[in-house]
Structure 1
Amino acid sequence: MKTLRHPIFLASLLLFCLNQVLELLHIYIWPLHTHLDDLLCMPVILTLILAAERLYFRNPYFVLPRHYIVVSVLLFSIVFEGILPLLAAKYTADAWDIVAYVVGALIFHKNINRSMPAQSIEAVK
């Protein structure tokens, strides 16, 4: 599916995986360790949601409505920056993470959340 081959999605997914490998190796690079996953979260998750919606509804022109994106940012902010830090000491609330969610959502909205061009759709058929 072409949606999952978008360069920004692929770069976000690759950077996320590389950052996780660094963390597994106990290599912590600030600000990558503290904010990169939060920045990449929205482009990765929202692209997966967009691909699922397009596949389910068989509509390559489908784009996620803005309120889906806003609600996603709000839910991630509430859960990961509000609720989890209250439940476990290993989680910390950080306003900069919310900024990263917003920036990631804007990157998704401006670059990935677009209808597929007609020639791409014909190639898929």
Structure 2
Amino acid sequence: MACLLLFWLNQLLEWQHIFISPLYQYLDDLLCMPLVLTITLATERLYFSNNYFVLPLRYSLVAAVLVSIYFEVILPLFSPVYTPDAVDVLCYSVGVVVFQVLINRPL
């Protein structure tokens, strides 16, 4: 829930044209994996009716690799709006660690 709140606060600041560096540059990337993986975890738990289910680490790693390839390799090839940034990949990786350590626990 904290990740979602931080994301919305950052979006609200950007909408008001308030850009706080490095939050503006990297907070969305840092929060991406915890948000996506938490939604995935909740969906899995609902589908299987199992509150003890946790996502295996390999799922999180594959998700981070796919997000990195899509946002840092593929999208920049098709639009100048997107620029590849190795720090974004680092943020996705840190997000996986945050998810695995703090969020991905049985209820």
Q: TM-score range by the shorter chain?
A: over 0.9
Q: Name the structure 1 match of 2:63.
A: 72
Q: Is 2:22 the partner of 1:34?
A: no
Name which of 9, 12, 21 aligns with 2:12: 21
TM-score, scaled relative to structure 2: 0.97
> What CA RMSD, in Å, does the superposition of the two structures yield over aligned residues?
0.7
Q: Name the structure 1 match of 2:43.
A: 52
Q: Within 5 Å, give how 1:101-112 maps onto structure 2.
A: 101-112=92-103
CA distance in 1, matches of 2:11, 2:59: 27
**3-state secondary structure, aligned to 2:50:** coil
Deviation at 1:73, TM superposition (A): 0.3
**Residues 46-101 of structure 1, C-alpha deviations (whole Å, 9 max, x = no match):** 01110000000001110001111001100110000111111100111100000000
**3-state secondary structure, aligned to 2:3:** helix
CA distance in 1, matches of 2:56, 2:18: 38
The code of the aligned residue for 1:55 comes to: L
Aligned length: 107
Deviation at 1:21, TM superposition (A): 1.1
Name which of 69, 78, 87 aligns with 1:87: 78
The structure whose Rg is larger is 1
CA distance in 1, matches of 2:105, 2:38: 11
Deviation at 1:27, TM superposition (A): 1.3
Q: Name the structure 2 match of 1:4.
A: none
User: Hey, which bits of structure 1, 4+ residues long, moved more than 2 A?
Assistant: none
Q: Percentage identity across aligned positions?
A: 57
